[in-house]
Amino acid sequence: MKRAISLSFAVFLISASLKIRAQEVAQTNVKPVEKALEMVSRLQPVTFNYDKAWAEKLKLPSTSQYGFVGVDAKAAVPSVVTVQAKHYPAAKNAFNSANITKVDSESLIPLLVGSIKEQQQQIEELKREIDSLKAQNAK
């Protein structure tokens, strides 16, 4: 019984120390996203298919994809674009690599939220302006 208690106490201490460690990680240099609408507006969503031969070589999906043209996305929001090398067999025990540009969709979420908030501010300003114009016309 004493051993079971000390074992559960040890597990508690370990889990408590893990929770403390997880809380030690903090964000620094936190700033609001500015001009999110401008950045998002520069993105051009597209549908595309990977070239059939490359899709087979690199094990890419052959179905229609939604995304962005990498070069265009990099011009609009460079921080969400990465280039990934994918290796494919060239000969026995030899490999070549091809570069694939990837857009990190998850990183776009804060920009999308920011752009929605900016649009909402614009909508509210337009509503106030309309109400003001209605009030002037009513006189």
pLDDT of residue 2: 52
Distance from chain centroid for Cα 66: 14
pLDDT of residue 26: 83
Q: Quick check: helix, strand or coil at residue 96?
A: strand
pLDDT of residue 91: 82
Q: 69-107: per-residue pLDDT in tens? A: 999 999 999 999 999 998 888 888 888 899 999 999 999
pLDDT of residue 30: 86
Is the pTM of the predicted complex or chain greater than 0.95?
no
Higher pLDDT, 6 or 108: 108
Cα–Cα distance for residue pair 62/60, rounded to 1 Å = 6
Average pLDDT over residues 29-40: 92
pLDDT of residue 113: 97
Q: Quick check: helix, strand or coil at residue 43?
A: coil
pLDDT of residue 22: 53
Residue 85 pairs in a beta bridge with 99
Q: What is the mean pLDDT of the chain?
A: 86
